[in-house]
Amino acid sequence: MLTTQQQETVHRALDGFAIEIPSWGFANTGTRFGKFLQASAATTTAEKFEDAGQVHKLTGCCPTVAVHVLWDYPDGLTSVEVTREAAARAGVAIGSINPNVFHDQQYKHGSLGNPDPEVRRQALDHILDCVEIATRSGSRDISLWFADGSNFPGTANMRHRKRWFGEALREAHERMLATQRLLVEYKPFEPAFYHTDIADWGMAYLLAKEAGPQAKVLVDTGHHYQAQNIEQIVAWLLDTGMLGGFHFNDRRYADDDLTMGSIDPYQVFRIFHEIFLYRFETGVEPDIAYMIDQSHNLKPKVEEMIQTACTAQELYAKAALVDHAKLAAYQASASLIEAEELLKRAFFADVMPAIREWRVSKGLAAEPLAAHRESGYSERTARERGARNAAGVSSYA
């Protein structure tokens, strides 16, 4: 059982915690082997926001929605006001803007790294449009992930491609408002299997530094090789002031995009711990965007998003309980068992009673998932959307 002081620590932590959810997590998705349809899946951008609003209403920690340009802005800049108004009606706001430079046929051999200068220009123009969409939407972050790379040795000039990326990101950086940020994401492989243009955090770091002071690195927890120490990467990026945000998900083999904490919740806890430790040691509140990016192919989409948000709250609250002063003393004296046990005690602490108290104090349901199931929301949306989903229809009205 937590002490009164620990309960207060949990409440303070939750007061300051928010995590962004992705619009694409509410639509029908699948694998490269097929798409799996759900009767209640969102078929329009407005329905995505409606689902996101349901998640935020029940959890109290998901006020913003990440959007994908093309998927959520089919008409580009002319879609901005309609999309923004749809989000407001659902009780959420537009969050990070995610360009799409991997979907169209011209990107078969890359976007900003394409050997064809006309394709590189098309990709950059799209990113610049996304900067303008962010400005008109009141969004701070433009989140960049690139599928660029090659599958066979000798087929791409890696140094040329690096330079093309640097030039393009500098131009995008120059177009931003002073309050906006470019978040540069990395991934070691897939869909490129010989080389990926931005394959690790060091490459993302270098390109972000080249782009300008408002560019930071984005860490996707699934975008690493097996057994890589992600919290060390987080610690280094924090220490250099270059950690901009996260895409949280879980994985068993590669970029599986499984539910956050479903495979290794201790890893997420350790990541949050590094952030709390940095805050304790420096007195500085790091400016980090937390976001979910995972695939909801089989689980009911709104339910899995609620499950994810609740897991994030729980692991964040556990990390807040680490006694950093004691930990520092144990580390200084090389008291290995004591230091590790201190961390483990926080991880295994039962924070759920304190979280339920916090939710009730905020006028939220003590058990968000149960409240969602009792609300009849899924049954209603299945009736309203079922025919369109069965027919494979989707629109962005």
Q: What is the DSSP string of 300-338?
A: -HHHHHHHHHHHHHHHHHHHHT--HHHHHHHHHTT-HHH
C-alpha 36, offset from chain centre: 23
Neighbours of 190 (CB within 10 A): 12
* 201, pLDDT greater than 50: yes
* 396, pLDDT greater than 50: no
Residue where the block lists tokens 């995009």: 257
What's the pLDDT score for residue 393? Answer: 66
What's the pLDDT score for residue 225? Answer: 96
DSSP code at position 259? P
pTM score, whole prediction: 0.96
**Separation of alpha carbons 350 and 317, rounded Å:** 10
In percent, how much of the chain has pLDDT > 70?
99
Confidence of residue 53 (pLDDT cuts 50, 70, 90): very high
Residues in contact with 53: Cβ distance below 8 Å, sequence separation at least 6, in sequence order: 90, 91, 92
Neighbours of 360 (CB within 10 A): 11
| Average model confidence (pLDDT) across the chain | 96
> What does the block give as tokens for 38?
């759900």
**Separation of alpha carbons 38 and 16, rounded Å:** 34
What's the pLDDT score for residue 354? Answer: 98
Q: Which of 68-72, 190-194, 265-269, 375-379 has the lowest mean pLDDT?
A: 68-72
What's the pLDDT score for residue 76? Answer: 82
* Nearest Cα residue to 38 out of 396, 382, 294: 382
DSSP code at position 97? E
330: left (phi over 0), alpha (psi -120 to 50) or beta: alpha
**Separation of alpha carbons 22 and 98, rounded Å:** 10
* Secondary structure of residue 247 in the 3-state scheme: strand
Query: CATH 1.10.1060.10: does it fit domain 18-321?
Result: no
* Distinct helix (H) and strand (E) counts, the chain: 14, 12
Q: Could you report the per-residue pLDDT of 213-257, keeping only the tens digit for each?
A: 999 999 999 999 999 999 999 999 999 999 999 999 999 999 999
DSSP code at position 121? H
Q: Could you report the per-residue pLDDT of 133-183, keeping only the tens digit for each?
A: 999 999 999 999 999 999 999 999 999 999 999 999 999 999 999 999 999
What's the pLDDT score for residue 34? Answer: 83
